[in-house]
Every structure is written in structure tokens, then in C-alpha cells.
Copies of this chain bind each other. A is one copy, B any other.
């Protein structure tokens, strides 16, 4: 394991994702010093108090200068800009990696910016909660979860192996795939459900009379079902726009699926409805 020791880790954006990564690596004994980089002083102080980082700076240039690994954990639409600022100041042999929820757009923007001898390993730990900030970080967030790495033909194999081992040390099962395949899969299992949840809450509110809050009748099922509609609107706006094509495609598939249910209800096709619900139930039950 000592082959993969990181003397200095810089985390840009010390929130749930970045903070939990630092905590997990500290707990695994794989990291020496951790510097936190961000704008909000209160959050960075919280991160220091909680032992997530050892020091912090508001200067990206200063923070990344001596780092062996730089982890970008800022909102997906800021990743290319932050990388463009940081890369010229990273040392030879250092590795930039990220935790962005969309990969093709990020990879296309960052790879052309890489200086000679500085490496980039695009990644996405498939984990999270509705909470955010350094306060929400915890060392076991990634345990038993998947982390998807999306190397390209330009990705350095040594750097890829390092980042793979770090995620394994954090407890994740690491899977490699192309950025495009990642975006297609995440569009289906994550981005589409969020769009559907937001649209569902909006629709149900719209079904009520003006003088009555229809949501007050909702039982546990509705609350569980719409929990993800409580997610951060900025984050999901950015994801939706960054993964536009794949997301539009899966929304289209979902619309057809719902249209089938609707026309079977309208036509009173009892057997078709039963078969449809039964198949969905079987597939759903198989994953739990």
C-alpha cells in the first residue's frame, strides 16, 4: 500500500464529497498533509476543526503548488475553469482528479489544458446525501459504493493506478468506462430520476385547489419517492445542462414508457398493466 502514499493532497471544495475523500484517506493512513482550498472561510475552519484538512488557503495557485494529488470537488460546471487556473501551477508528476457527476464535457474541456508531465484522471464516486458542506463529510461515505473512473487514451497509466488505489482505500469498488458510457448510465439511473422527482412535485402541487395544500395529504410513500427533489437546485441545473444530450435521450425513453401506461389505463388493458407493473417490480426487487 505504501506505493500509493500521497505526501500532500489538495482538496478544492471541502464539502461532502471532497471532505469525505480526505477523511477516508487519512483514516486509511494513505495521506500526509491535506490542504483545503475554497472561498468560504467558515466552512474551511469547520473542516480544520473536524480534522478533515490540516490547513487552508483561498488561493488556488498557492494551494496546489506542492500537492502530489489535487482533487477537484466543486460543482460540475466550475470544474473546467478551476482546472484551467490550477494546472499551470501544479508540479511535474502531480495528478489532477475530480469527482464530477458528468464526465464527457469535463474531460473534453480539461485534457487539452494539461501541461507536460501533469496528469488528469477523471472520476465520479457514485455516492452522496442531500446534505452538503464540510459539516456533512464523513470517512465512510464511499464504503461499499462504486467509483467510476473514465480514463481516455491520453490518461497516464501510473496516475490512473494511483487514483484507483486511493478510491479502493476509501472503500469503493472502482470501475473503468468511457466518459460517454458513464454519462449515459448516470443519465438513466441518477439524472433522469432527479428530473422526474422535481417534475412530479411540481405537478402534484399544480393538481391542488388554490385554497388547499394537496401535499398535506401525502403519506410516507410520496415523501420517500420525492426525497431527491430536495437536492440542491444549482447542482442539478448544472448536471442537467452538462449532460444535456444523454439526459434528453433518457427522458424521451421515460416519456414513452409512461405513455404506454397511460394508454393502457385509458383503454382498460388490465393484463397489459399487470404485466408492466409486474416486470418493473421484478427488476426493482432484483437490485435490493
* A interface residues (Cβ-Cβ under 8 A, vs B): 126-128, 145-146, 148, 184-190, 192-208, 214-219, 221-234, 236-237, 240-241, 244, 247-248, 250-251, 253-258, 260-262, 265-266, 268, 270, 273-274, 276-281, 283-288
List residues of chain B with CB within 8 A of the CB of A148: 217
Asked whether, in the complex, the Cβ of B254 is within 8 Å of the Cβ of A200, the reply is: yes
- What's the least CB distance linking A86 to chain B, in Å? 25
List residues of chain B with CB within 8 A of the CB of A278: 233
Interface residue SS majority, chain A: helix
Q: A127-B219, A221-B228, A288-B223 are in contact. Are A207 and B253 (CB under 8 A)?
A: yes
Q: How far is the CA of A173 from the CA of B115 in the complex (A)?
A: 66
Neighbour of A215 across the interface among B254, B266, B287, CB < 8 A: B287
Asked whether, in the complex, the Cβ of A190 is within 8 Å of the Cβ of B284, the reply is: no
List residues of chain B with CB within 8 A of the CB of A237: 270, 273-274, 277
List residues of chain B with CB within 8 A of the CB of A214: 185, 188-189
- Taken together, the copies of this chain in the complex come to 2
Asked whether, in the complex, the Cβ of A197 is within 8 Å of the Cβ of B225, the reply is: yes
Asked whether, in the complex, the Cβ of B261 is within 8 Å of the Cβ of A222, the reply is: no
List residues of chain B with CB within 8 A of the CB of A217: 126, 146, 148, 185-186, 189
Q: How far is the CA of A148 from the CA of B54 in the complex (A)?
A: 57
Q: How far is the CA of A219 from the CA of B173 in the complex (A)?
A: 13
Asked whether, in the complex, the Cβ of B126 is within 8 Å of the Cβ of A198, the reply is: no
Q: How far is the CA of A283 from the CA of B207 in the complex (A)?
A: 13
